[in-house]
Amino acid sequence: MNQPRVLIVDDDPALLQALPETLRLRMGEVTVDTADSGAAALDRIGAGDYDAIVTDIKMPGTDGLTLLAAIRARRPDTPTLMITGHGEHALAIHALRGGAYDFIQKPIDRDYLVASLRRAIQVGELSRRVKEQQQALERHASDLARTVEERTLELQEAHKVIQSPLRWLTSPSRQMEKVVQQVKQVADSPLTILVEGETGTGKELVARAIHQLSARRKQPFVAVDCGAIPDTLIESEIFGYEKGAFTGAHQRKEGQFQLAEGGSLFLDEIVNLPLPTQVKLLRTPRRSLHDRRSDPGPRGRGPGREAGVSGALAAGSGKRDPVLEEPPGSS
């Protein structure tokens, strides 16, 4: 703690001489300044801080109460002790209500003055420390809030990137930029889309991006690897079947078309499909889908239900062979 500074204000020259001497003798650690008027005191207060101020109430010009109000306005944390005449209780109460720390009656009790001044300096120091800590906490809270806001924005940007359907297609390559632009252009198209590319180049990623950018994004996306399903099962897998449609059909099975209804169906490696199945797929988007294998003949198997296909069909091919082409003469 630095050496405390005390300002004594009084228009009585004798008191201005006696009080500083008393304080220097009994409080050797303090620096004492004096002012013979309220105006002079305001000049000193404007030039520097004081740990405590002792002022007479009754002074010509700027009196003690006016000076107290100015101190409270400029230095609200500086404790002020008011000197009052004997029996001036109303003034003392007025001063205390105005923010004075204590009042000292004339004739001045030196012991009481020193004790009260020590307490005032301690209270002022404690008040300043609390204020400094509060300001430090406020700065820390402000810095923390700013950091949280910055991190939140970073996380939001990262989340946007993570959630973006095009995140796996982002690349400085001009060719990939062209692919991204094409994806955006065809995303809302109701037409069948052919995605070409070698195995492992990301055809399914492109198909998923198309789906996520379309109005169908909240509907299912179903991917079927046509190359991994045997030719004898591919039609049943795609279109489904009714119970009893063939030997071993013990229960009704939803096809991939039904699972993707309203959304998008991605048929990977579609060139591996048998040509008759390709013909059925070609006709499916054009009209209602007779979506389940059935046999209405004498064996009593029921017909499949008619279901509208409201989703989009995307085909992935690792070759440039024609796919989903309608053979001559078919309709």
Q: Give pLDDT tens digits for 303-328.
A: 334 343 444 555 666 654 433 333 34
Q: Determine, yes or no, domain membership for 20.
A: yes
Chain center to CA of 266: 37
Same-domain status, 93 and 173: no
Most confident region among 98-107, 195-204, 300-309 by mean pLDDT: 98-107
pLDDT at 260 over 80: yes
Q: Tens digits of per-residue pLDDT, 45-74?
A: 999 899 999 999 999 999 999 999 999 999
Q: Determine, yes or no, domain membership for 119.
A: yes
Last residue within a domain, chosen from 92, 116, 134: 134
Same-domain status, 127 and 177: no
Same-domain status, 270 and 193: yes
Number of domains, the chain: 2
Same-domain status, 199 and 299: yes
More reliable by pLDDT, 83 or 270: 83
- Supply the angle between the helices 64-74 and 38-47 in degrees, to the nearest 10: 20
Q: Determine, yes or no, domain membership for 75.
A: yes
Six token digits for residue 114: 């020193």
Same-domain status, 83 and 201: no
Last residue within a domain, chosen from 134, 157, 177: 134
Q: Determine, yes or no, domain membership for 326.
A: no
Give every CB contact of residue 38 below 8 A, 6+ residues apart in sequence: 9, 55, 59, 61, 62, 63, 64, 66, 67, 70
- Report the CATH number that the domain containing residue 267 is assigned in CATH: 3.40.50.300
Q: Determine, yes or no, domain membership for 322.
A: no
- Report the CATH number that the domain containing residue 76 is assigned in CATH: 3.40.50.2300
- 3-class DSSP state for residue 80? strand
Same-domain status, 129 and 179: no
Per the confidence metrics, is the pTM higher than 0.75?
no
Same-domain status, 308 and 239: yes
Q: Determine, yes or no, domain membership for 14.
A: yes
Q: Tens digits of per-residue pLDDT, 224-252?
A: 888 888 888 888 888 888 888 777 778 88
Q: Determine, yes or no, domain membership for 76.
A: yes
Domain that holds residue 176: 167-317
Q: Determine, yes or no, domain membership for 157.
A: no
Same-domain status, 129 and 171: no
Q: How far is CA 258 from CA 191, 220, 241, in A?
A: 18, 10, 11
More reliable by pLDDT, 119 or 281: 119
Same-domain status, 115 and 202: no
